[in-house]
Amino acid sequence: MKVILIRHGKTRGNLLKRYIGTTDEELCSFDGLDRRYPDCDRVISSPMKRCIRTAEYIYPNKEIIVCENLRECDFGEFENKSFEDMKDDERYREWVESGGTLPFPCGEARGDFVRRSVGAFLSQAFGASAAFVVHGGTVMAVMSALYGGDFYDYMTENGGGYIFEFDEKTASVLSPPKLI
């Protein structure tokens, strides 16, 4: 099957460089969504407004299938805060020094987030082609699980993402990823 993984459009939190996971922000702009996205048979979205609106904008004539477990990571006490807000917070410095592997205080651990995201992806990865409109963290979780490498190797801009071929029967990738 052809898989299209797309990060949602820009939000106010993105522009302010904040950690936005559980905050249900609307899009503030459609900038970056004017590229050519491949057509697909199915469109699957995170339940967050920013993903649903992006999916509706890119695929206006398609039914949007909402998948709860494709939502962004729960950043816990770091939610809706920027580096500037937390630069003096010892817990934040420890998290950064760990390469982002420590759990977020009162939030989600990366391993749990990756398992949730990949499980949700695999539950929806069937058919001829599917577009997944999700979050930056979800893209990084799925891509690093499928292709290896560091989680942050797959960071992508708003509206960006990857296209690849996936065999749902063996749960394996069949082609190198291409950037959107």
Domain boundaries, the chain: 41-73+109-180, 76-107
Give the pLDDT of residue 70.
98
* Extended strands (E) in 8-84: 42-45, 64-66
Give every residue of the chain whose pLDDT is below 70, as ranges.
Answer: none
* C-alpha span between 2 and 49 (Å, rounded): 25
Q: At what angle do helices 110-124 and 136-147 cross, to 10 degrees?
A: 80
Q: How far is the C-alpha of 80 from the C-alpha of 56, rounded, in Å?
A: 25
SS3 49: helix
Distance CA 152, CA 8 (A): 17
User: Which CATH number is 41-73+109-180 given?
Assistant: 3.40.50.1240
Which residues in 30-169 belong to E strands, given as ranges?
Answer: 42-45, 64-66, 129-134, 161-167
